[in-house]
């Protein structure tokens, strides 16, 4: 009979989830000691491993670096052939291994100890050389692998990844790592833009449609047509925002009125329109537009009218 893929996938997920849950009992005094050591590290965190553990170590390095903990990866095999020079005074070394007894790992341990660097082990075998010789042992023992032969690293590498994430999040919260800090390390791509791109960076490229309350319907239409944003602000002589007129307002007005000769901006404007400060994040502007089902938003600067930000602007920036 052909294996049922859905059943297999559900079994793997359930098995790995159960294994991750058992890790809670391993969060002990050694975990707290590890956090204290990482917080007080004067250098970098050097993560190492071999095989699949090396790949997980690289991911943890990426997470540490992006959350304010300087880190670097050193492959355990390459370390024995020159890469030991990566380790500097003041660095903390963290080695990941399921068995803790791989030949490369066993050869690496005394070299690190001779350098005088502190060693943290993330290991799934408390009786291994790595666990016994490390200054701090973080246990990632799992009952078995999700692999049907209990051989391919699956559940064990998931456990290593979870412990790495737990360390990173602890360090973030203790350091008070904020959104602004995160943005410094993620300036590119959509994620970076959500964290640092401000309204002022976007709306300045647009026209600045504006009319006064007494201006005629014709003047309103001409202004909206020329500025091509589907909207115009209504302002007073001091540039204070009085109201807003959209394409929709015009259509609704024309549907209700046959005599439009004497209609002025103040007769059709919406007072107290939604607006946003130019110093706010652009993603905040998008949230306001979505919540209110609108496509434009008035931009203000100290309550003075500054311009219009359009949903198309945010689309161009990749925020949608």
pLDDT tens for residues 51-75? 999 999 999 999 999 888 999 999 9
DSSP secondary structure code for residue 206 in this structure:
S
pLDDT at position 101 is 95
> How many Å apart are CA 87 and CA 93, to the nearest integer?
8
Report if pTM > 0.85.
Answer: no
Q: Which of 100-109, 204-213, 250-259 has the lowest mean pLDDT?
A: 250-259
- Count CB neighbours of 175 within 10 A: 13
The model's confidence at residue 253, banded by pLDDT at 50, 70 and 90, is: confident
pLDDT at position 84 is 93
CA triplet 140, 64, 144: central angle to 5 degrees? 20
> How many Å apart are CA 13 and CA 9, to the nearest integer?
6
* Residues linked to residue 305 through DSSP beta bridges, in sequence order: 300
Whole-angstrom Cα Rg for the chain? 30
Strands (E) located in 10-148: 45-49, 71-75, 92-97, 118-123, 136-139
Closest alpha carbon to 47 in 139, 112, 129: 112
Average pLDDT of span 105-122: 95
């Amino acid at each position: 009979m052909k294996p049922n893929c859905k059943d297999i996938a559900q079994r793997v997920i359930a098995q790995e989830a159960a294994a991750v849950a058992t890790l809670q009992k391993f969060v002990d005094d050694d975990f707290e000691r590890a956090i204290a050591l990482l917080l007080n590290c004067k250098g970098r965190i050097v993560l190492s491993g071999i095989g699949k553990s090396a790949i997980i170590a690289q991911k943890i390095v990426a997470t540490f670096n992006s959350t304010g903990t300087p880190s670097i990866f050193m492959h355990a095999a390459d370390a024995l052939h020159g890469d030991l020079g990566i380790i500097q005074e003041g660095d903390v070394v963290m080695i990941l291994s399921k068995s803790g007894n791989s030949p490369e790992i066993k050869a690496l341990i005394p070299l690190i100890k001779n350098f005088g660097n502190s060693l943290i082990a993330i290991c799934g075998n408390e009786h291994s050389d790595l666990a016994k010789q490390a200054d701090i042992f973080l246990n990632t023992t799992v009952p078995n692998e999700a692999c049907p032969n209990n051989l391919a690293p699956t559940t064990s590498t998931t456990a290593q990844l979870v412990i790495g994430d737990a360390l990173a999040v602890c360090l973030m919260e203790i350091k008070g790592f904020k959104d602004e800090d995160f943005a410094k390390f993620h300036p590119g791509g959509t994620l970076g833009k959500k964290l640092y791109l401000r309204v002022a960076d976007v709306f300045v490229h647009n026209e600045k449609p504006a009319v006064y309350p007494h201006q005629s319907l014709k003047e309103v239409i001409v202004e909206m047509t020329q500025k091509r944003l589907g909207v115009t602000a209504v302002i007073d002589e001091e540039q204070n925002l009085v109201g807003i007129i959209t394409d929709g307002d015009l259509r609704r007005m024309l549907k209700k009125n046959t005599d439009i000769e004497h209609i002025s901006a103040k007769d059709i404007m919406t007072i107290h329109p939604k607006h946003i400060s130019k110093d706010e994040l652009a993603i905040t502007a998008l949230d306001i537009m979505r919540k209110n089902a609108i496509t434009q938003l008035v931009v203000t600067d100290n309550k003075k009218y500054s311009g219009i930000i359009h949903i198309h602007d945010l689309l161009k920036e990749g925020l949608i």
